[in-house]
Amino acid sequence: MEGSYAPWNQTDASGKIVGFEVDILNDVCARAKLECKIVAQDWDGVIPGLTAGKFDIVMDGMSITEERMKTIDFSIPYASSPVAFLADKNGPLANLSNSGKMIDLSKDDAESKAALDTLRKELTGKNVGLQVSTTEATFADKYLKDVANVHEYKTTDEHDLDLMAGRIDVAFADTTYFLGTLAKPDAKDLEFVGPQFKGGPILGPGIGAAFRKTDKDLQDIYNKALKAALDDGSVSKYSMQWFKIDITK
């Protein structure tokens, strides 16, 4: 875990990592009778660290995608959250088209193509901030980099700060992460703009824990305990606690 992706996982004032995924991990480890220790790792090092054996499981709001599954495996999904854009409500992108509309890229239909075409047109020449090595970065590589000025950041906190300071026009991240951003006092002038996206090869079917491909036994043990926690409503309870909505649906 990064320990800096609130409220999925974050570092509190005492230096302890807490959050939605921490509660899931503690629950799963207790059910599976596993001894688990949380290790903080910068986002761009989580997959290399996993494959190198630095740790055994990654939980960091990671979307299950075809590209990632070429090198790692995933648990069953424990959450689903679309990606979205955040901008200054008084800024040049406050009236971005299709605001509030959900676009499912797994359908690859006329509606999704039209929404992408409009988005590309409206973001032409604009400064877009996102975190490096994320599904948002892959999305931007495919749809935005040839028209927009894409700025990649080591952490999501960094693009939030640049957005509030007016150094970028819009930030692009997971909707549930942005709910935490919007709850901050200094984010009172920010709002969701434009469409939200989910599904398809880039964004995937949901968010899960990552494993090395050689750790099938651990993955099976984890999945069994996670399914039980999903089935009895425990994960939904953690979601309501941290997000105020149920993102397991």
The predicted-structure confidence for 211-234, as pLDDT tens digits, reads as follows: 999 999 999 999 999 999 999 999
Over range 68-82, report the average pLDDT: 96
Q: Which residues contact 21 (CB under 8 A, 6 or more apart)?
A: 1, 8, 9, 59, 60, 61
- 108 pLDDT band, cuts 50/70/90, is confident
Over range 15-25, report the average pLDDT: 98
Per-residue pLDDT tens digits for 150-188: 999 999 999 999 999 999 999 999 999 999 899 999 999
Over range 245-249, report the average pLDDT: 91
Domains in the chain with CATH codes: 4-79+205-243 (3.40.190.10), 83-203 (3.40.190.10)
Q: With a cut of 90, say whether residue 55 has pLDDT above it.
A: yes
Closest to 208 measured CA to CA, from 176, 236, 248: 248
pLDDT at 249: 81
Does residue 144 sit in helix, strand or coil?
coil
Residue 241 CA: distances (Å) to CA of 24, 89, 113, 180, 247? 12, 28, 36, 13, 11
pLDDT at 147: 98
- 12 pLDDT band, cuts 50/70/90, is very high
Of all residues in the chain, what percent are helix, strand and coil, respectively (each to 5)?
40, 20, 40
pLDDT at 97: 98
- Placement of tokens 């494959």 in the chain: 51
pLDDT at 78: 98
Q: Which two tokens stand for residue 166?
A: 């007016």
Which class for 90: exposed (0-12), middle (13-18), buried (19 or more C-beta within 10 A)? exposed
Q: How far apart are CA 246 and CA 249, in angstroms?
A: 7
- 237 pLDDT band, cuts 50/70/90, is very high
Q: What is the mean pLDDT of the chain?
A: 96
pLDDT at 146: 97
Could you tell me where the beta strands, DSSP code E, fall in the chain?
Answer: 4-5, 9-11, 17-18, 72-74, 83-88, 102-104, 127-131, 149-153, 170-174, 190-198, 210-212
pLDDT at 102: 95
Q: Which two tokens stand for residue 161?
A: 């700060």
